[in-house]
Amino acid sequence: MSLPHAILTALLERPSSGLELTRRFDKSIGYFWSATHQQIYRELGRLEAEGYVRALPAEQPARGQKKRYEVLPAGRAELARWTSASQDPKPHRDALLLRLRAAAVVGTGGLKDDLRRHLELHRRQLAEYEEIERRDFPPGRDSTEDRLRHLVLRAGIDLETFWTQWLTHAVKEFDGLPGVEDTAD
């Protein structure tokens, strides 16, 4: 996935200003594709230069007014092309897993506490996703759009479920390791 395609998707859902896009990224798209305010504005400029989006005419001309953008037919075609193209999965990169591998050769100092911290963060994220599911996807919401959005949310729920289960196991594994310091006990 790329930022231009994430922005095109968000703008097809609802024309927005850069600030509105940033807020929407923070609330939904950002769960699986994050971007800073500056990255979004820079990409909007590129998309506009490529003829994929345009700034909507202002209802009343005013200095400092937020530009709202909409997707043009070329942008919709690009998003459709990208959506239908085959892509291989990207290799997973996770610093925590690398740190565990490194701990095997340099020692585990402080790592168990960080595993617990990660576990708590994943538990909170899982609870947030489950609340979104309860709130936004009640029984009967089965339009194609709802089902696809719910499928993305389910991926997040399943990933957080995996991490909470794996981290719970990892903390228990650390309990059985000789000489592992535990500052939380």
pLDDT tens digits, 144-153: 999 999 999 9
Using the predicted structure, report yes or no on whether residue 164 has a pLDDT greater than 60.
Answer: yes
At 84, which amino acid appears?
A: S
Q: How confident is the model at residue 90 (pLDDT cuts 50, 70, 90)?
A: confident
pLDDT-based confidence at residue 180 (cuts at 50, 70, 90): low
The predicted structure's pLDDT at residue 173 = 93
Average pLDDT over residues 67-79: 95
Cβ pair 178, 136 in contact under 8 A: no
Whether the CB-CB separation of 56 and 69 falls below 8 Å is answered with yes
Mean pLDDT over the full length of the chain: 89
The residue written with tokens 């950002």 in the block is 30
pLDDT at 142 over 60: yes
- 97-119: pLDDT as tens digits: 999 999 989 988 889 999 999 99
Does residue 62 have a pLDDT over 90? no
